[in-house]
Structure 1
Amino acid sequence: MKSTLIQYVLYFIALIILAIPVGAYIKKVMNGEKTFLSRMLVPCEKAVYKIMHIDSQEEMTWKKYTVSVLVFSLIGFVFLFLLQLLQGYLMGNPQGLSGVKWDLSLNTAASFITNTNWQAYSGESTLSYLTQALGLTVQNFVSAATGIAVLFALIRGFMKVEAKGLGSFWVDITRTIIHVLIPLNLVISVLLVAGGVIQNLEPAQTVSLVEPIAVNVDGEIIENAQIDIASKTVTVNGQMVPQAKIITEQFVPMGPAASQVAIKQTGTNGGGYMGVNSAHPLENPNAYTNFIEMTSILLIPAALCFAFGSMIKNKKQGMAIFSAMAICLVLAMGSIAVSEQYATPQLAQNGNVDIGMVEQSGGNMEGKESRFGIATSATWAAYTTAASNGSVNSMHDSYTPIGGMVTMLLMQLGEVVFGGVGCGLYGMLAFAILTVFIAGLMVGRTPEFLGKKIEPYEMKWAVVVCLATPVAILVGSGIAAALPSTVDSLNNTGAHGLSEVLYTYSSCGGNNGSAFAGFNANTVFFNVSLALVMLFARFVPIIGTLAIAGHLVEKKKIAVTAGTLSTTNGMFVFLLIFIVLLVGALSFFPALALGPLAEFFGML
């Protein structure tokens, strides 16, 4: 038990130690300051400006900044949609895969431009190397950079006084990609390759199994089978099994996985190169690669809290936001860990399963890799759903009701517990604006945040940002739950079946992308409806955030007085957490009560 607790503590300490210097570096990059990579990368940055005719000194209004974001995303959407449809006619397709059907192409294009990376397919058997590299990997970079760009536009709204512009979107996204994402992911890719993650352009391989297996007509493995290769017969307890098939070979996917795995984690994208994501041994072979991939999920989101404090010249404010996120994460991670470690009464009943922790992981190991165990699986589950990442190293559909519910709740809160790169912090800042407004009403003062008055205009847009995710999730899942055809996509009925539907829309509405693996969402209705949910939940908050930034940048600073509400102390951190949880509880408690909570109480 002690060693398990040490694992959790060390993972979190490692995250903080790495996030602080990364945050300092990002702040310098976005301010245009000199870094240790400037001599190498600034010429590349200037070359992009020259080729694309970008004015590096331009100051965009919030409306122009918004239009730039939307047009850029639309171009990426159309390109990725067509690339999938036409991949059967293009190079870089050694497997000879055909074009992807239109509704799945639509869903995948919406998924990757929104930084969701929801996947209703298995990448190794659906998409060509060209589509994976030129389509998905490129969007992993630019969608992540877009979120960071919008965040820094909002930060400038707080920093600048009586100004008009928020900076240039094209400059922000160029700096983010060239100075932050490419160098960081180059290093991580090399580390992953050194750990055994595949990175090649070879076609898939077929290899002989060390020990053949037998399957029945339904493709299920026959237990305790005696296999005679020479006569091609299969017997069980001396009785021949009719129509049994002997399997002697295995399909092993190849391709440029490490480079995509790196950016899927650091960009909080989450889309796996393989269908089972980071539970696949070629995508995440061992504890070493698991640590790198898991820590990478929250590295930039956590670092941005420190960059934010440094940018506004108030490091205590950055620490306050970081503390609120960290407390929520620790509570969530502890809830998942305890729930999975103690499993369910059914597993322990009459000694059916040994859930003890002596010389084994113990607890609920269903759906988890034995090479990772419960501690690393629970930590990854909390990290990936706290961020808008969605990569997995275990199957969340097999978690206990409470463990699965906490992963859902983290997404339903709007992915603000660190959240996605950029979008997590600007989402939390919207909650901070909401918090100071409510606190101001309580004490009878005009609300202020970071020296700027918070007026009805900012409040209206802050509410839109905070409620966009709940609206998208609840409307989408409500419609899906009302359709009789939804039952055909479920792996389970009853409360757990509802949880599968709710998790799916929570994942897409939270721009997360993970899944309860038992749910089949690859139908026309789900592909289209989930695409609409992803687009709404991504771009409505972006528009709201930039509208707030555009209004704040025009305001003058207000002097701090003895009556000014402190937004850096423990009381503010508590209020901020309370407001985040309150919005989540009020929005989702009825749905959670019918799903995971009903399943939990049904097991008692």
Structure 2
Amino acid sequence: MGTALQTATAVLLVAAILAALHVPLGSWIAHTFTDEADWRVERLLYRVVGVDPRAEQRWTGYAGSVLAFSAVGILGLFGLILVQGLLPWSFGRSMDWHTVLNTAVSFVTNTNWQSYAGEAGTGHTVQLLGLTVQNVVSAAVGLAVAIALVRGLAREGAGRIGNFWVDLVRGTVRVILPLAAVAAILLLLGGVIQNLARPHVVETLGGARQVIQGGPVASQEAVKLLGTNGGGFFNANSAHPFENPGPWTNLLQVVLVLAIPFSLPHAYGRMVGDRRQGVVAVDVMGTLLAASMALAVWAETAAASSPLGSMEGKEQRFGIVWSSLFGAATTGTSTGAVNAMHDSLSPLGGGVVLLNMMLGEVSPGGVGTGLYSYLVLVVIAVFLAGLMVGRTPELLGKTIGRAEVTSAALVTLTMPALVLLGTGLAVSVPVSVGARLNDGPHGLSELLYAVTSAANNNGSAFAGLSADQPFLNLLLAACMLLGRLVPIVLVLRLAGSLAAQGRRPVTAGTMPTATPLFTVLVLGTVLIVAGLTFFPSLVLGPLAEALS
């Protein structure tokens, strides 16, 4: 079977599964956050934490709750990792303080950047009580913020956008945990391990000694993918046979990464009362993802004169097509999982996965983060269209005025500012320059990729960068924290501003936002914003390497 046919077959297979999932799952998500009744376990949790589920918050209170929850999560995980030597199943593992801080920030911000080898830095207790828990709740935080912004569009004359604690609990109990449990069982059936075994030393046929690691892998693997987190239980991540045994589990993992992000547009359409809005979102996200998948496969196939293309850094059991599709899916979302080493990709292939993150990871983006990033770009697209035709910009009957545009513009500028300033700082400090495996354009790409991954809360890496040192750990932790929390606060400000408005009636002068033309306009906005911002850095890195 030719590469083009393999690629088309693989993309259509993933698309067919997502098409079957996105309506029922999107409908369930919409029901979860509009249901007026609480489940018994939810009422119990509200009583434990002292929350009145009927008391809604203004955007400032909602944002304050997110910030407080994140701060407690960072402090708690930092302390847990520091004392892991006193805990059972620690196996004597430890980290330096700067690696601990980087890890705590990473998992709380849904980034899962790992400066340490998974099987060497943390024991089973930290994996279960620290990292897996944060994989669940960090995804639930992103989901809650997206729902708050959708409420802002759906409500009229409301000063409140919901209750963060209720949204957090419902997203966790009704959406993420049930899906993760099913996914873990499927991964177990596919051969992913789940145990509390100690490292086991065996003697190979050649007389060498080899350490066989065990651990609660399936439970963490399921939610790292479903929640678009991405941290690997093992250093080899989803290229490790204990995490991803074969083609069947590889397909399942790609689907898990994309399932919730591609279902959220349907939930959005139902909640605002216009399902066509969700269709436009899916069209934009799907177009960007399909294009990146095709470009990634083409780049890797064309990278070598061999008919097999470049297999450096790839698993034989997955091959070029599924390695490229996996890389495009995980960088199109905020998922740091990899089943091939991105540092070994061809210059153009590495440029594709880097560009996916630079687009703001809206193809389709992470759990919650993808939808609210998309809606921010829709606000900008509507504003630009209004300027071009001389009409008042409107979105679903809400006026896009100064306050809304300011919030959206600041969200859009946050990530590029962090990426460009952070990379500029990294290339000017000798200790970080010395951490590169390569010189020249590829060495620049290693640092650029690291900062882009951190600022976008992705977590994947060009593995040639030796990032486990104080300067890079602290720089990337700052990028992760600001890249997560600053946009969230601004998105919630936008939600509050929209919710406070009434709804303007549709007139002959109202620009429709559920048409193919508007789809093209949003696509153009995504590409132009990223292209104008990042084209010079891409020229100096991946493109210069490809042309050299």
State TM-score, norm by structure 1: 0.89
Residue deviations 1:539-592, cap 9 Å, x none? 111010000111111110010112111111111111111111111111111111
Aligned to 1:599: 545
Structure 1 residue runs without a partner (length 5+): 213-246, 349-354, 357-361
Please give the alpha-carbon distance, in whole angstroms, between the structure 2 residues aligned to 1:185 and 1:209: 36
Kindly report which structure 2 residues correspond to 1:359-374, keeping only aligned pairs within 5 A, or say none. 362-374=308-320
Please give the alpha-carbon distance, in whole angstroms, between the structure 1 residues aligned to 2:92 and 2:425: 38
Please give the alpha-carbon distance, in whole angstroms, between the structure 1 residues aligned to 2:16 and 2:186: 20
- SS of the equivalent of 2:448 reads helix
Structure 2 residue runs without a partner (length 5+): none
Aligned to 2:437: 491
- SS of the equivalent of 1:595 reads helix
Please give the alpha-carbon distance, in whole angstroms, between the structure 1 residues aligned to 2:370 and 2:415: 12
Code of the residue aligned with 2:92 in structure 1: it is: G
Question: Which residue of 292, 296, 314 corresponds with 2:256?
Answer: 296
Aligned to 1:319: 279
Aligned to 1:236: none
Residue 394, structure 1, aligned to residue 389, structure 2: no
Residue 284, structure 1, aligned to residue 247, structure 2: no
Aligned to 1:242: none
Question: Which residue of 12, 15, 25 corresponds with 1:12?
Answer: 15
Aligned to 1:192: 187
Please give the alpha-carbon distance, in whole angstroms, between the structure 2 residues aligned to 1:163 and 1:8: 42
Q: Offset of 1:21 from its aligned partner?
A: 1.4
Please give the alpha-carbon distance, in whole angstroms, between the structure 2 residues aligned to 1:307 and 1:4: 29
Please give the alpha-carbon distance, in whole angstroms, between the structure 1 residues aligned to 2:33 and 2:314: 40
Question: Which residue of 460, 466, 469 corresponds with 1:514?
Answer: 460
Please give the alpha-carbon distance, in whole angstroms, between the structure 1 residues aligned to 2:77 and 2:172: 19
Q: Offset of 1:450 from its aligned partner?
A: 1.1
Aligned to 2:153: 158
Question: Which residue of 163, 168, 187 corresponds with 1:173?
Answer: 168
Aligned to 2:110: 115
Q: Which moved more, 1:71-80 or 1:23-32?
A: 23-32
Question: Which residue of 48, 51, 74 corresponds with 2:71?
Answer: 74
Please give the alpha-carbon distance, in whole angstroms, between the structure 2 residues aligned to 1:593 and 1:33: 52
Q: Offset of 1:5 from its aligned partner?
A: 2.4
Report the structure, 1 or 2, having the larger helix content. Answer: 2
Residue deviations 1:180-239, cap 9 Å, x none? 1111000000110111101001111112223x2xxxxxxxxxxxxxxxxxxxxxxxxxxx
Please give the alpha-carbon distance, in whole angstroms, between the structure 1 residues aligned to 2:182 and 2:513: 37
Q: Would you say the 8 A contact 1:59–1:164 is kept in 2?
A: no
Residue 96, structure 1, aligned to residue 92, structure 2: yes
Residue 105, structure 1, aligned to residue 100, structure 2: yes
Q: Would you say the 8 A contact 2:7–2:297 is kept in 1?
A: no
Aligned to 2:221: 261
Q: Would you say the 8 A contact 1:141–1:181 is kept in 2?
A: yes
Q: Which moved more, 1:196-205 or 1:42-51?
A: 42-51
- SS of the equivalent of 2:116 reads coil
Query: After TM superposition, what 4+ stretches of structure 1 lie above 4 angstroms from structure 2?
Result: none
Q: Would you say the 8 A contact 1:389–1:420 is kept in 2?
A: yes
Please give the alpha-carbon distance, in whole angstroms, between the structure 2 residues aligned to 1:148 and 1:4: 31
- SS of the equivalent of 1:489 reads coil
**Count of residue correspondences:** 545
Residue deviations 1:291-337, cap 9 Å, x none? 11111001101110111111111110011011111111111111101
Q: Would you say the 8 A contact 1:503–1:515 is kept in 2?
A: yes
Code of the residue aligned with 1:91 in structure 2: it is: P
Please give the alpha-carbon distance, in whole angstroms, between the structure 2 residues aligned to 1:4 and 1:547: 42
Q: Would you say the 8 A contact 1:8–1:375 is kept in 2?
A: no
Residue deviations 1:413-441, cap 9 Å, x none? 11122111001110110010000001001
Q: Offset of 1:10 from its aligned partner?
A: 1.1
Aligned to 1:238: none
Code of the residue aligned with 1:69 in structure 2: it is: V
Q: Would you say the 8 A contact 2:59–2:496 is kept in 1?
A: yes
Please give the alpha-carbon distance, in whole angstroms, between the structure 2 residues aligned to 1:74 and 1:33: 30
Residue deviations 1:479-502, cap 9 Å, x none? 001122223211111111111111
Q: Offset of 1:33 from its aligned partner?
A: 6.2
Aligned to 2:50: 53
Aligned to 1:183: 178
Between structure 1 and structure 2, the one with the greater Rg is 1
State TM-score, norm by structure 2: 0.98
